[in-house]
Structure 1
Amino acid sequence: MGLLEQVAPNLVDVLRRDAWWMGWNTFLAWIPVLLACLLFRGQRVSRSPFWWAGLTLFVLFLPNAPYVVTDLVHLRGDILMADRGGPVVTAILPVYAVLIGSGFLAYYLALSAALRHLARVGLGDWQGRVALAAHALCAIGIFLGRWARLNSWEPVVDPHATLERIFVHLTWTWAPVLILATFLVTWTCHFMTKAIAEASFKATLKSARHLHTTLTS
């Protein structure tokens, strides 16, 4: 029996068990990318109220992208349901790696679009501070999403109850520690994703230029 025939049934089991919540969280993670494509196209700061409303949605949904790293809480349960060590390495871990990689790729793309827009409108000096602010915002958002079970749309549809829940959880004794840890994880994973994505882009561009040179010579 080939490796694919051994892995396929285990992979199907994992996807059947986790497809719904993984698919939903991946969908939420890529909403900021869609919003970024719509928002960050101009050459100047927009004064449209619709643009600023879209920016508010972008800020609210941005933490959904790095939030996927907290889905590792489900990993232990999937490992316990595995029959032996093989499915963990060949099926469960790759699925979680794709999930988390997809989320941080979405985060990198969305944040990069926002930072490039700052440069286009003459605010390039703010890029570093905005990036750090985004990581901090996402750390708080991830904390509220995982521990307060707060959804991105709740501040809009139920602001009063949302503010109460935010206050209660942010005043929890362990909140600063968890938020700081989440910030460090978010910053580190974004740094790694950025390095891999930009290196891959440069390698692809170099290969494309080499192929173009070969075909035209």
Structure 2
Amino acid sequence: MKAEVIELITTVFHVLQVNLRWMTWNLFLAFIPLALSVWLFRRQRSGSWVWWLGFLSFYAFLPNAPYLLTDVIHLIDDIRRVQSIWMITLVLIPVYFVVIFGGFEAYVISLINLGYYLHRTGKSQWIFPVELITHALSAVGIYWGRFLRFNSWDFITQPDAIITKGVEEILGKQPLIIITLTFIILWGLYWFMKRITLGFLNKGVNSQIK
């Protein structure tokens, strides 16, 4: 019994150690657009070439945030390896939840900041259409990242591959179905999480006023 427990703990530790690498990296990529959104839409004035460069970088890196939703496939593999309901429930699932939630919340706050910018510049009517367009672009980016293994910086390092292979691939029937489903999931989760996030933010503002 003792040997089995030690072996189980060793397995879980090894799984977490391996996952820590890609989880840390993916979270880092997810928080890049969040940081850019604060700089672009909350602090920096638009119009300069630096702002537009940051804006393009924002959209190039943005799919990395909701991309973490697809990392649930690693959880399935880890569950098969660990095979302990207690370790799965108390260790694996909470770790994955924090990572995936953190990535998607970065996506939500990034778009909230974008909406704030549009509202501040008198373009409130564009908030919803821009959100839909962003979900669609992110769905394409997620597909490129998960299935074609493209990275955000490939827009610079291999733009020809994105234009040829990337565009050609998403025109197929199966990719379009996957991208459409991804878009629906993004829109639904964003709609839900946006209201929760704004609720917390408004509650914090009201408590400070009081």
TM bucket normalised to smaller: 0.7 to 0.9
Q: CA deviation at 1:160?
A: 1.1
User: What does residue 75 of structure 2 align with?
Assistant: 75
Contact 1:139–1:179 (CA<8 Å) still a contact in 2? yes
Q: CA deviation at 1:90?
A: 0.8
Task: For 1:116 and 1:205, locate their aligned partners in 2 and report how far apart those are by CA, in whole Å.
Answer: 15
Q: CA deviation at 1:52?
A: 0.9
Residue pairs, 1:112-131, within 5 angstroms:
112-131=112-131
Task: For 1:43 and 1:52, locate their aligned partners in 2 and report how far apart those are by CA, in whole Å.
Answer: 11
**What value does the CA root-mean-square deviation take over the aligned residues?**
2.3
Task: For 2:123 and 2:171, locate their aligned partners in 1 and report how far apart those are by CA, in whole Å.
Answer: 34
User: Which has the larger displacement, 73-82 or 185-194?
Assistant: 185-194
Matched, 1:18 2:19: yes
Q: CA deviation at 1:88?
A: 0.9
User: What does residue 111 of structure 2 align with?
Assistant: 111
Distance 1:11 1:57, change over 3 A: same
Q: CA deviation at 1:194?
A: 1.4
Task: For 2:43 and 2:20, locate their aligned partners in 1 and report how far apart those are by CA, in whole Å.
Answer: 37
- 3-state SS of paired residue (1:149): coil
Whichever residue aligns with residue 67 of structure 1, its letter is: Y
Residue pairs, 1:1-217, within 5 angstroms:
12-41=13-42, 46-208=46-208
Contact 1:29–1:103 (CA<8 Å) still a contact in 2? yes
Task: For 1:24 and 1:69, locate their aligned partners in 2 and report how far apart those are by CA, in whole Å.
Answer: 14
Q: CA deviation at 1:206?
A: 4.9
Contact 1:105–1:193 (CA<8 Å) still a contact in 2? yes
Task: For 2:43 and 2:105, locate their aligned partners in 1 and report how far apart those are by CA, in whole Å.
Answer: 23
Contact 2:108–2:193 (CA<8 Å) still a contact in 1? yes
Task: For 1:105 and 1:155, locate their aligned partners in 2 and report how far apart those are by CA, in whole Å.
Answer: 25
- 3-state SS of paired residue (2:173): coil
Compute the TM-score of the two structures, normalised by the length of structure 2. Answer: 0.88
Q: CA deviation at 1:162?
A: 2.1
Task: For 2:150 and 2:122, locate their aligned partners in 1 and report how far apart those are by CA, in whole Å.
Answer: 35
Distance 1:35 1:148, change over 3 A: same
Whichever residue aligns with residue 155 of structure 1, its letter is: F
Distance 1:202 1:53, change over 3 A: closer
Paired residue total: 204
Unmatched tracts of structure 2, length 5 or more: 1-8
Task: For 1:42 and 1:35, locate their aligned partners in 2 and report how far apart those are by CA, in whole Å.
Answer: 10
- 3-state SS of paired residue (1:174): helix
The runs of 4+ residues in structure 1 deviating greater than 6 Å are 8-11
Distance 1:127 1:13, change over 3 A: same
Q: CA deviation at 1:11?
A: 6.5
Q: CA deviation at 1:146?
A: 0.6
Unmatched tracts of structure 1, length 5 or more: 1-7, 213-217
Task: For 2:56 and 2:201, locate their aligned partners in 1 and report how far apart those are by CA, in whole Å.
Answer: 30
